[in-house]
């Protein structure tokens, strides 16, 4: 073999070696997407690296190594009749559950959860228990949690108290999957179905309750009106009493003034007669005759006077 041929063979071998080396080096890299984390798995020793959790990017992990990939985004779980989009991570039909009063109800519900990747052991424990196929377990735990929660509420409350029921289901779901290092972010109680007869009964009960509430409010309004009328009547009575008292005091005051005036006049007349008797008249007979004369003078109906000297008499026509 000539030197030229040897050079060709050696060059070819080097090229193959470089090609293989490049392939091996390329196979030693693995990529994680933006919303992913991964655990390094060594297929030779069939073991994982429990010390490090790899985040998104290109990583050199060596030959015969690969990632077990876990999502960091929100995961969607649905229990519903229709699956129009098919984008949910876990899907099943609507749930048939029971209420506290024994009524069968059909629930459509969805919720969102996220894997807690703050600690590497959270992901390691999930790998050891479920590898990467953990969603069926989530669906099973969620089904049990929802059914155990619905039996704590009366059927009517699913139409009048849905917020509290959603909160209770949220709490139950969080507790059920806490061991899987997952957090429930949001629960949506989407739809509730009952038998037609029971729905009619529920509607009648709600309407009746509303009618009772309306009647109660009307009764309160009438009571307020009645109380107002009583207050007005009491005010009118108080005003009448005050006015009557004022009128009575006015009459008393006027009567007292008139009586005092009459008293003053009599006292004046008495004093005048005393003076007249003292100055002009010598005895009581003359005083009486004087008074008769005054009376006759003031009487406009007298026509004839008889016996003026002693006992005057009035003759009227």
pLDDT digits (tens, 9 = 90+) for 94-127: 999 999 998 999 999 999 999 999 999 999 999 9
- pLDDT value for 14: 56
Q: What's this model's pTM, rounded to 2 decimal places?
A: 0.56
The arrangement of secondary structure in 75-194, i.e. its CATH architecture, is: 2-Layer Sandwich (3.30)
d(CA 165, CA 169): 6
- pLDDT value for 288: 65
The 10s digit of each residue's pLDDT in 153-172 is: 999 899 899 999 999 999 99
User: Is the pLDDT at 217 greater than 80, yes or no?
Assistant: no
- pLDDT value for 212: 76
Average pLDDT, integer, range 33-52: 93
Tokens describing residue 287: 């005083």
What is the DSSP code (8-state) at residue 46? T
The 10s digit of each residue's pLDDT in 196-210 is: 666 666 667 777 777
Averaged pLDDT of the chain: 78
Residue with more model confidence, 198 or 223: 223
Q: Per-domain residue ranges for the chain?
A: 19-71, 75-194, 204-272, 281-316
d(CA 19, CA 200): 77
């Amino acid at each position: 073999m000539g030197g030229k041929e040897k050079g060709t063979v050696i060059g070819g071998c080097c090229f193959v070696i470089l090609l293989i080396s490049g392939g091996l080096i390329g196979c030693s890299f693995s990529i994680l997407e933006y919303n992913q984390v991964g655990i390094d798995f060594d297929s030779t020793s069939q073991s994982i690296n429990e010390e490090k959790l790899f985040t998104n990017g290109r990583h050199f992990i060596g030959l015969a190594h690969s990632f077990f990939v876990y999502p960091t985004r929100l995961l969607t779980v649905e229990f519903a009749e229709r699956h129009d989009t098919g984008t949910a991570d876990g899907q099943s039909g609507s749930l048939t559950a029971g209420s506290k009063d024994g009524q069968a109800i059909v629930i459509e519900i969805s919720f969102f959860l996220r894997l807690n990747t703050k600690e590497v052991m959270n992901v390691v424990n999930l790998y050891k228990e479920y590898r990467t196929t953990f969603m069926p377990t989530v669906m099973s735990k969620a089904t049990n949690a929802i059914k155990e929660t619905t039996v704590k509420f009366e059927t009517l409350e699913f139409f009048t108290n849905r917020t509290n029921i959603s909160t209770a289901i949220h709490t139950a779901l969080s507790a059920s999957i806490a061991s899987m290092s997952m957090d429930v972010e949001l629960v949506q109680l989407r739809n509730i179905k009952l038998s037609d007869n029971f729905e009619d009964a529920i509607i009648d009960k709600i309407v009746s309750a509303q009618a009772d509430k309306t009647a109660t409010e009307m009764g309160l309004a009438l009571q307020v009106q009645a109380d107002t009328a009583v207050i007005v009547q009491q005010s009118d009575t108080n005003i009448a009493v005050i006015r009557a008292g004022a009128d009575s005091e006015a009459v008393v005051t006027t009567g007292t003034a008139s009586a005092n005036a009459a008293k003053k006049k009599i006292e004046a007349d008495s004093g005048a007669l005393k003076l007249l008797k003292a100055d002009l008249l010598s005895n009581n007979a003359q005083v009486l005759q004087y008074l008769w004369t005054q009376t006759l003078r003031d009487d406009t109906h007298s026509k004839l006077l008889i016996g003026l000297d002693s006992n005057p008499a009035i003759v009227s026509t």
